[in-house]
Each structure stands twice: as structure tokens, then as C-alpha cells.
Structure 1
Amino acid sequence: MTRTEEKTGFVGVGLMGHGMAKNIVEKGYPLTVIAHRNRAPVEDLVSRGATEAKSMQELASACSVIFLCLTGSPQVAEAVAALKPGLAKGSVIVDCSTSDPTVTERLAAELAEIGVAFADAPLSRTPKEAWEGTLDCMVGADEATFARVEPVIATWAAKIVRVGGLGDGHRMKLLNNFISLGYAAIYSEALAMSQKVGIPIAEFDKVIRGGRMDCGFYQTFMGYALEGNRESHKFTLTNAYKDIRYVESMANAATVATPMASAIKNSFATAVNTGGDGPEDYLPHLADFVARANGIG
């Protein structure tokens, strides 16, 4: 299909979804969106040429490819149920959320019964890259579905990897987040230790930055620890805690021992359960909770 023939929809125009949807509509695809709690992103997208649907069924009826960018599997399942009455045979739902692969497979089977395809296409990077259209995307889909949705994904992703079949995108995303959340937990503990032994954060950073242990994730994480930028990496602690629980669930199903994942989960569980459960408590703020647990005010 051409860009004008493929009518896209987007559910979940939040921190990541707003930038993704902006790129879809600005790069030539007809786009229908729907508001949730925050109307500002929808109003911005409408000003750029998108159409606002009044209901999920209306959005489904207007679209041939629908993207979901939601908090997790419960929200994805709820959205799919609301879309179902309006879905036409031959349409595709693309779940860009970080979801439980078992739920992905169940939803795909249910949609297949009504002739609707499903793909999992979770993301990596931050809202900054979402806005710039330079996200990383890992896709789980059959070859025909991937060929159809890849051009639309390319409006907001610079790196697209088809990992394998259905569910494999979400499995790879959990592996990716296992590594990134592990970094966050290690950085937070290292910073607390550094302060306890008398090495200032600025000196710690001088050694790590530009060396073999440096990376893009380290730099956004340290944007808060070093510069006080609370929005240097806008990914909430509650989402991080959810993701690492999905990692453990996947590992349990595969009978994999998880001493590292369990330790990482406990770091985030402690933060979330001691006040880090707000909408503006982001990943780099984990360092504060680890510091306080070690008597650093």
C-alpha cells in the first residue's frame, strides 16, 4: 500500500507515543488518534494534520494499521478489546509497548480469528529520539506483516531489526531492558559507594566518561547525577519495575535462574515502595533511593 492508502491509528500518545505519532503524520500517513487523560498531545497532533477519534471503535473503523504504545500488557489487552468491534478484516495492530510475550501471543491468536494481524514492535531510546524519529525498534512478526508495517515504523525509527516471529520482539525488548535496568542499578550503587569513600561524583564521571565503560545510557543517566537534570532520561521507575518483573516471568517460564535479575528487581522494588512511584520519578532518580538507603541525604 502507498502512504495515502495505509490509514494509520495511534493509541497512547504519551511520553514516547507523541513523538512517534508526530513523525507518522508529518511523513505523509493519514493518522487518527484518541485522547486519554492528557489532551495536549492530541491537540498538537491534530494541528499537524491528524484526526481525533471520539471512541476506540471509531478509531479502529478508520484505520488499517494501528499502533499501541501503552504502559503494559493489561492496558494493551484492554485497548485491543475496545478496538475489536471496529476492526476490519485485513487490518494490523502493532504493539510498541513493553509487554508480556505470553499475552502478545494470546491476543494475536484472538485477532487472527477475525482476520486481523498482530506484530510486536517495542522501542529503545528516549522521548528525545521519538521526537526526532531516530528510535531503535525490534520487531516480532511474520514476513508479510513485517513488510507491510516496516515503512510506517521507519517514520519514527532509524534502526529496525526483525528479531523473529510473533512475540520475539517483546522477548528481545525484555532482554534489552534487563541490561539497561541492570546498568541503572549498578550506576546507582557505584555512585553511593563513591560518595561513601569520598570520591566526588564529578571525579567519578571524569574517569568513566570517554573510557571503555562509557555508553549512551550512562550519559543520560548521569545527566541527573552530575547536572541535576531531572528529565535527562524520562522513563519512570514504576515502568522499570514492571519491566523487570516481566523479565523474571519470562525467565521463570524458560527455567532460567535469575540471581542478577532478582537483585535488579529488588533495587527497583525498594525505590517504588519508598516513594518512587510518581509520574515524574524517572530512572536516574534510582540513585537517590540507593543513596538514602545507605545514609546519604
Structure 2
Amino acid sequence: MTHGARPVGFIGLGNMGGRMARRLRDAGVDVLGFDPRAGVAEEIGVRAATSSGAVFADASIVLLSLPDDNVVRSVMTDPAVREELRADHLVIDLSTSAPEVSQQLATEVAARGARFLDAGISGGAAAAEAGTLTIMIGGDAADVQRAEPVFAPFASRVIHCGPSGAGHTVKLLNNFLNAVTLSATAEVMVAAKKAGLDLATVLEVINASSGVSFASQKRFPAIIQGDYLEGGLTNTLMLKDVALYLSMLSSLGVASLNAPGPVASFGLARSLGYADRISNTVVDAIGDVSGGIRLHEPTPSEDGTP
């Protein structure tokens, strides 16, 4: 799989970015990656750039997978990046950014003759590794078509949601539902444990009934076995996404009556020491304030005791 003589640039090689970059590499794509942490590109097995500007100097398609839109903006306003920005550049923001930031950056990039897509992703670390992510995109249809071969190694669904900003708008809507169902299911499972119920049986009922969700189907069958599916969105980032959602609703003039639950739940997780742990550990935070409840009690062989 080639993209002419130029590599595909990838800035941000963290939990999700690193997995997507590796999928591209495994598909035969020449990936030029940059991450401020030394040695990360080499660990992933992609060519290492010395800076974001160096990525833009060599690649015409550049993917961004960064913690928030402040970091996205800092990359795109870096003087070295601005100096290298050319008319043939297509910048694809895979981060979770505020839609208005995406729209502003698209306008600024277009003024230089280049193109910008906001491309929210969903599916988590497991989907990134399997190449089955869903991508929701805002921007011009021709730019989406140009990007599709780059998405193919790590995404099974690419959905063009509308003009600039639409991709990250849909992403925030989806992430809010994710936050609600994850935190609510965590609460329910702690209650089920404290009630003395068999958790696998509870999940069987939920997944065959009206309470079913991605959390109950894809997350909690592993969590009740002690596997928190590490590598995905942290509690801090989940709370950040909910805050972005609330800001968006405020600008739209829409009341948010369901936000207190996830705000309290992921805020609790942060305050109890789970800030940088995967958001699935919200169940342990709820368990902590509910009598020290854990869904899975390690066996002696699991915790290393004789």
C-alpha cells in the first residue's frame, strides 16, 4: 500500500495514535511519526521525525492523535508547521476536539491552500488494534475520498457526517452516551455485587433486555473477570469529553439534564486516584465509596499470594 513517494505523517503516538500508526505500518504504509516522548516511534516500529515541522516537511497527509484541542491548535500554530504547510497537505484531526476549533483550523489551513478534516474515532483500543474503528468525519467530500485509503488499515466504517465541525460534533454526542452508559452500568454492577448476585447472570439478563449497551456487551464481561481493558480513554479524558459536550450544548441552547451522573462519576474517579487509568475503572471508584466493593476478587494465584 503506497501513497506516492511521500510517507503518511502521524503526530501523537499514544494509546490510540500508536495503535493506528502500527496498523498503517503493518499494511505496508511508510509512516513518519512524531511524539514528544523519546523513543516512542521506534517502539511502535515507524520512522521517527524530530519534530511536528519535520513531519509536515516530508508528508502530504498528516494525521493528528492528540490529547485535546489545545494541543491540536499548538501543533497547527507551531511556526515550523506553518512554514512547511503546503497546498498539497491534508491534515486529519483524529483527536476529540471542540467543533468550533475544528472549523477555525479548517479555515486557517484553507487560507494556506491546504485541507483539514475533523475525524472523530470510536471503538477503543481493541478496535484500533483489530482495525475496526468507526470514523466520523467533517469536511469536504473530496478530501474524505482522498483520506479513505489511509483510514482502511485501522477503520471498518468511515462515515461522512457533513461540513467542517460535523465529525467532532457527532463524536461528542456519541462520547456523551458512552460516558452515561459506562458510568450507569458501573453503578448497577456495584449494586449487583453488593446484592450478592452472580455478575455473569446479571450481564446475561441486561444484554438480552432493554438495559443493553456497549458497556454491558463489550466492557463488563471482561471487567468482572478482572480485565479492565487497559489502553483506552482515561477518566481524565472522559471527563474532558463530557465538558466539551456541555460547552457545545450551551452554545446550541440545548438543556443537558443527564450530565450530572457522568460528571460526578468520572470526577469521583479522578479525585480517588484513577485520573490516568482507563475510564472503565470508574467502577472501582464507585465501589470505593460503596463499601470497598470490587467486581472481581483476585484468587491467590492471581494476586501472587502463596
Ranges of 4+ aligned residues in structure 1 off by more than 4 Å: none
Q: Residues 6-55 of structure 1, C-alpha deviation per residue, up to 9 Å, x if partnerless?
A: 53100111111112112223334332111322524x11444xxx422112
Q: Which runs of 5+ in 2 are unaligned?
A: 294-306
**Structure 2 residue corresponding to 1:291, chosen from 287, 290, 296:** 287
- Correspondences of 1:33-182 after superposition (within 5 Å): 33-37=33-37, 39-40=39-40, 42-46=41-45, 50-82=46-78, 83-182=81-180
Q: Residues 108-131 of structure 1, C-alpha deviation per residue, up to 9 Å, x if partnerless?
A: 222122112110111101222212
Partner of 2:27 in structure 1? Answer: 27
Q: Which segment drifts farther, 59-68 or 120-129? A: 120-129
- Given that 1:3 and 1:28 are in contact with CA atoms closer than 8 Å, whether structure 2 keeps it comes out as no
Partner of 2:10 in structure 1? Answer: 10
Say if 1:211 and 1:39 are closer, same or farther in 2 by CA, change over 3 A: farther
Partner of 2:297 in structure 1? Answer: none
- Given that 1:247 and 1:261 are in contact with CA atoms closer than 8 Å, whether structure 2 keeps it comes out as no
Q: Which runs of 5+ in 1 are unaligned?
A: none
Kindly provide the amino acid, as one letter, of the partner of residue 278 in structure 2: Y
Kindly provide the amino acid, as one letter, of the partner of residue 139 in structure 1: I
Whole-Å Cα distance in 2 between the matches of residues 160 and 98 of structure 1? 16
- Identity, % of aligned positions: 28
- Given that 1:68 and 1:97 are in contact with CA atoms closer than 8 Å, whether structure 2 keeps it comes out as yes
- Given that 1:13 and 1:21 are in contact with CA atoms closer than 8 Å, whether structure 2 keeps it comes out as yes
Matched, 1:230 2:228: yes
- Given that 1:221 and 1:232 are in contact with CA atoms closer than 8 Å, whether structure 2 keeps it comes out as no
Whole-Å Cα distance in 1 between the matches of residues 231 and 113 of structure 2? 39
- Given that 1:248 and 1:262 are in contact with CA atoms closer than 8 Å, whether structure 2 keeps it comes out as no
- Given that 2:223 and 2:229 are in contact with CA atoms closer than 8 Å, whether structure 1 keeps it comes out as no
Q: Residues 156-180 of structure 1, C-alpha deviation per residue, up to 9 Å, x if partnerless?
A: 1101100111110000000111111
Whole-Å Cα distance in 1 between the matches of residues 111 and 123 of structure 2? 34
Whole-Å Cα distance in 1 between the matches of residues 253 and 63 of structure 2? 32
Q: Which segment drifts farther, 70-79 or 204-213? A: 204-213
Kindly provide the amino acid, as one letter, of the partner of residue 124 in structure 1: S
Partner of 2:303 in structure 1? Answer: none
Kindly provide the amino acid, as one letter, of the partner of residue 100 in structure 1: A
- Given that 1:225 and 1:287 are in contact with CA atoms closer than 8 Å, whether structure 2 keeps it comes out as no
- Given that 2:15 and 2:231 are in contact with CA atoms closer than 8 Å, whether structure 1 keeps it comes out as no
Q: Residues 45-72 of structure 1, C-alpha deviation per residue, up to 9 Å, x if partnerless?
A: 44xxx42211221111101010001111
Q: How many residues of Structure 1 are paired with residues of Structure 2 in the alignment?
A: 291
- Shift of residue 143, structure 1, vs aligned partner: 1.5
Whole-Å Cα distance in 2 between the matches of residues 253 and 38 of structure 1? 39
Matched, 1:242 2:220: no
Q: Which segment drifts farther, 68-77 or 127-136? A: 127-136
Q: In structure 2, the residue corresponding to 1:274 is in which secondary structure?
A: helix
The normalised TM-score by structure 1 is: 0.90
Partner of 1:264 in structure 2? Answer: 262
Q: In structure 2, the residue corresponding to 1:10 is in which secondary structure?
A: strand
Q: In structure 1, the residue corresponding to 2:22 is in which secondary structure?
A: helix
Whole-Å Cα distance in 2 between the matches of residues 232 and 223 of structure 1? 14
Q: In structure 2, the residue corresponding to 1:16 is in which secondary structure?
A: helix
- Given that 2:68 and 2:95 are in contact with CA atoms closer than 8 Å, whether structure 1 keeps it comes out as yes
- Given that 1:135 and 1:156 are in contact with CA atoms closer than 8 Å, whether structure 2 keeps it comes out as yes
Kindly provide the amino acid, as one letter, of the partner of residue 194 in structure 1: A
Q: Residues 133-174 of structure 1, C-alpha deviation per residue, up to 9 Å, x if partnerless?
A: 211110111122112112211221101100111110000000
- Correspondences of 1:176-191 after superposition (within 5 Å): 176-191=174-189
Q: In structure 2, the residue corresponding to 1:54 is in which secondary structure?
A: coil
The normalised TM-score by structure 2 is: 0.88
